[in-house]
Chain A
Amino acid sequence: MREFQISLAGQAIGIRSLYDEIFHLCRDYLSDRAELSFRVETRPEDIRFEQEKSLREAALEGKPAFLYPEPYLETLAVYRKIAARMPEYNAWLMHGSAVAVGVEAFLFTAPSGTGKTTHTRLWLEQVPGAYVVNGDKPLLRLRDGICEVCGTPWSGKESLNRNGIVPLRAICFLNRGVENRIKEISFREAAPLLLQQSYRSRDSLTMQKTMSLIRALGDCTHFYRLFCNMKPEAALVSWNGMRNNT
Chain B
Amino acid sequence: MKLRYEFSVMEMDGEYMAVPVGENAEQFNGMLRMNDVSAEILDLLKEDTTPETVHRILRERYPDSDDREIGEQLAAFLNQLVREGLLIVP
Contact = CB atoms under 8 A, between A and B. Distances in A.
Interface of A: 53, 186-188, 191-192, 195-196, 200-204, 207-208, 211-212, 214-215, 218
Contacts of A192: 17, 31, 33
Interface in B15-33: 15, 17, 19, 21-23, 25-26, 31, 33
Given A188-B12, A212-B10, A204 B21 contact: yes
B20 to A, nearest CB: 8
B25 A195 contact: no
A204 B12 contact: no
Contacts of A188: 12-15
Interface residues of B, number: 17
Interface in B21-76: 21-23, 25-26, 31, 33
A49 B26 CA distance: 13
Contacts of B15: 188, 191
A contact face: mostly helix, strand, loop, or mixed: helix
A207 B33 CA distance: 16
25 contacts: A186-B13, A187-B12, A187-B13, A188-B13, A188-B14, A188-B15, A191-B17, A192-B17, A192-B31, A195-B31, A200-B19, A203-B21, A204-B6, A204-B21, A207-B8, A207-B19, A207-B21, A208-B8, A211-B8, A211-B19, A212-B10, A215-B10, A215-B11, A215-B13, A218-B12
A169 to B, nearest CB: 20
Nearest to A194: B12
A203 B21 CA distance: 6
A211 B17 contact: yes
A191 B8 contact: no
Nearest to A218: B13
B10 A208 contact: yes
A201 B12 contact: no
Contacts of B21: 200-204, 207
B36 to A, nearest CB: 14
Given A192-B17, A195-B17, A202 B12 contact: no
Contacts of B17: 191-192, 195, 211
A191 B22 contact: no
Contact of B31 (A53, A196, A208): A196
Given A188-B15, A195-B17, A212-B10, A204 B33 contact: no
